[in-house]
């Protein structure tokens, strides 16, 4: 009988992380959902209580090496191995680069990029000794192309993409696979935690930011992709005998990435600009 695989998921208090914990623990994965603050673990605890899932909650702050070390130690003490890491912790930031401070950009990278690296560094020695493992990095469709007034977040996801491609080579030599998930706009709690700059009426970017926020609101309203759609793709990838390196989730993501690859740089930028600043949408 095949033994159950142990999974560590970061950023599980809501959204994709919460849905992933629910889906994996419902499908015979021993799942550890981690949160930066245990006071925000109510929704995970409700799932455990309601469905009696093989799901456990741990404190883990991706910006704190000691909390990562302690969480991994607890998992190994309980299961003796770690088969899958899902790097989901992160947050979004919107605003013009002129008005976002360098410190704010650094904080964006500390969580979205360096946080990913910290957890990877903690689990790679374990997977390498096991001779197998899977690392799933949650990126975004904007890890593949730029969009206006979102530069800090987009840059952090570009960095995750470059990191993922690079480590896939070196870790593949030890039986460790790397998978990148690229969702489009997802109906989730993610956007409730987005940090927005440049909305002051005195800002020279005020008009552009109004259009950007309006476009985002419409995209969220019209999105047909849920957190559980992303979680289902992750489950499919983990159960595949030969998983792909990249999984694009959502029609908006698929369409935008196709346009990026088929158009020239200038034409693609015109297409994005027209969709966001001229209200023409990002249709084919």
Per annotation, catalytic residue among 14, 25, 151, 157: 157
Distance CA 107, CA 113 (A): 10
For residue 246 the two structure tokens come to 């990249």
Count how many Cα atoms sit within 13 Å of the Cα of residue 268 in the half-sphere of its side chain: 16
State the CB neighbour count (10 A cutoff) for residue 187. 17
Per annotation, catalytic residue among 153, 155, 188, 256: 153
* Apex 83 CA angle, 167 and 186, nearest 5: 70
To the query of whether residue 129 is one of the catalytic residues in this protein, the response is no
Per annotation, catalytic residue among 13, 14, 25, 164: 13
To the query of whether residue 153 is one of the catalytic residues in this protein, the response is yes
To the query of whether residue 139 is one of the catalytic residues in this protein, the response is yes
**Residue 86: CB partners within 8 Å, gap ≥ 6?**
7, 8, 9, 10, 17, 20, 136, 138, 234
User: Chain centroid to CA 139: how far?
Assistant: 5
Per annotation, catalytic residue among 25, 139, 223, 227: 139
- Among 81, 67, 66, 93, which Cα is nearest to 30's? 81
- Among 191, 202, 239, which Cα is nearest to 83's? 239
To the query of whether residue 241 is one of the catalytic residues in this protein, the response is no
Residues known to be catalytic: 13, 139, 153, 157
């Amino acid at each position: 009988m095949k033994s159950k695989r142990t999974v560590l998921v970061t950023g599980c208090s809501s959204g994709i992380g919460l849905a992933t914990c629910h889906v994996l623990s419902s499908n015979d994965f021993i799942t550890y959902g981690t949160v930066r603050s245990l006071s925000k673990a109510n929704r995970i605890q409700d799932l455990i209580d309601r469905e009696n899932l093989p799901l456990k909650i741990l404190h883990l702050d991706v910006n704190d090496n000691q909390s990562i070390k302690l969480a991994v130690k607890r998992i190994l003490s309980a299961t003796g191995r770690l088969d899958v890491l899902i790097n989901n912790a992160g947050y979004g930031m919107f605003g013009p680069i002129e008005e976002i401070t360098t410190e704010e950009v650094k904080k964006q990278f500390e969580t979205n990029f360096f946080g990913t690296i910290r957890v990877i560094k903690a689990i790679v020695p374990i997977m390498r000794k096991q001779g197998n493992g899977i690392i799933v990095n949650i990126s975004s469709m904007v890890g593949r192309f730029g969009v206006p007034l979102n530069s800090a977040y987009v840059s952090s996801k570009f960095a995750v993409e470059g990191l993922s491609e690079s480590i896939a080579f070196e870790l593949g030599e030890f039986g460790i696979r790397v998978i990148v998930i690229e969702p489009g706009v997802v109906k989730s709690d993610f956007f409730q935690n987005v940090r927005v700059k440049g909305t002051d009426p005195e800002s020279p970017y005020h008009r552009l930011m109004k259009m950007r926020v309006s476009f985002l609101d419409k995209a969220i309203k019209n999105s047909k992709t849920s957190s559980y759609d992303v979680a289902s793709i992750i489950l499919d990838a983990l159960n595949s005998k030969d998983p792909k390196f990249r999984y694009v989730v959502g029609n908006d993501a698929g369409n935008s990435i196709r346009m990026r690859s088929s158009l020239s740089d200038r034409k693609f930028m015109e297409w994005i600009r027209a969709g966001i600043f001229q209200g023409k949408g990002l249709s084919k």
